[in-house]
Homo-oligomer: A and B are copies of this chain.
Amino acid sequence: MIVIGEKINATRSAVRDIIEQRRDGELAALAREQAEAGATYIDVNVGTGRGTRDDEIEAMQWAVTTLCTATDKPLCIDSADAAVLEAGLAAMAGRPAMINSIKADPHCFDAVLPLVARYQAPVVALAMDEQGIPKTVEGRIAACRRIAAACADYQISIEQVFFDPLVLPVSTDAVQGKVTLDTVAAIRQAFPGAHATMGLSNISYGLPGRAALNAAFLHMAVFAGLDSAIMDPSNTTMMAAVRSAEALMGKDRHFRRYTRALRKPS
């Protein structure tokens, strides 16, 4: 499993403070903690929603520069604004990075796909369009097909694309768990070379016992074809779920990662 560590996100108030106050050491610690816990990529989202675009560009440059000295892991540059993405990618100074994210929207294609092509970066592609998140599997796959076609126009390989089927809470619409999982399976069938990733925790919004529910959803999603997750790798329940799922799918030679994860305190 390709784990995208989600902790450096300015929508979390503690992280927003770290970013606004440019506290290098604490930002670096967040990256190292996730790298040690098993993250493949470290996501970086500096959108506090309180400053100007220039503020966000400057914050991204600072964060990327700081993180590149703190960890060898590739970063996942995360913004809805192409200018912020571009600033982050440039600050990587040639090191590999992922882009998070695109959706099925011509404005987004025009702004972001040139960056994906130029940096040959893996890219998270949300299964949604200008109207929002389709409620059905067919609607989400239609969005993915538009994205795949646009990527082909820019000669971006489908192997670079991490489709995200998107997760809506089952507490508000009980069929949404199955819709997301069926979308994962449909993505893997329609685009065999592509990846499938998602942020899982939204599934359990509004329900008790969220950690176990998120872990159960991860197990199901891995069988459906998920090969990546946007998650907190320091959460031992979730990382144990990743390792169990790999072991059961025959993706963990000699059960090494599984048995190592069991030895960690939970």
Contacts and interface: CB of A to CB of B under 8 A. Distances in A.
Interface of A: 170-171, 174-178, 181, 203, 207-209, 212-213, 215-217, 219-220, 222-224, 240-241, 244-245, 247-250, 253, 255, 258-259, 262
Copies in the complex: 2
A179 to B, nearest CB: 9
Given A175-B250, A220-B248, 14 more contacts: A170-B247, A174-B250, A207-B247, A208-B259, A209-B244, A213-B244, A213-B247, A215-B216, A216-B241, A217-B219, A217-B248, A220-B220, A220-B222, A223-B223
Contacts of A250: 170, 174-178
Contact of A223 (B209, B224, B244): B224
A12 B216 CA distance: 30
A178 to B, nearest CB: 6
B209 A262 contact: yes
Contacts of A258: 207, 209
B171 A244 contact: no
Contacts of A245: 216, 220
A166 to B, nearest CB: 16
Nearest to A213: B244
Contact of A220 (B175, B178, B213, B219): B219
A255 to B, nearest CB: 6
A14 to B, nearest CB: 29
Contacts of A247: 170, 207, 213
Q: Which 6 residue pairs spanning A and B have beta carbons closest together?
A: A174-B250, A219-B219, A220-B223, A216-B244, A177-B248, A216-B219
Contacts of A223: 181, 220, 223-224
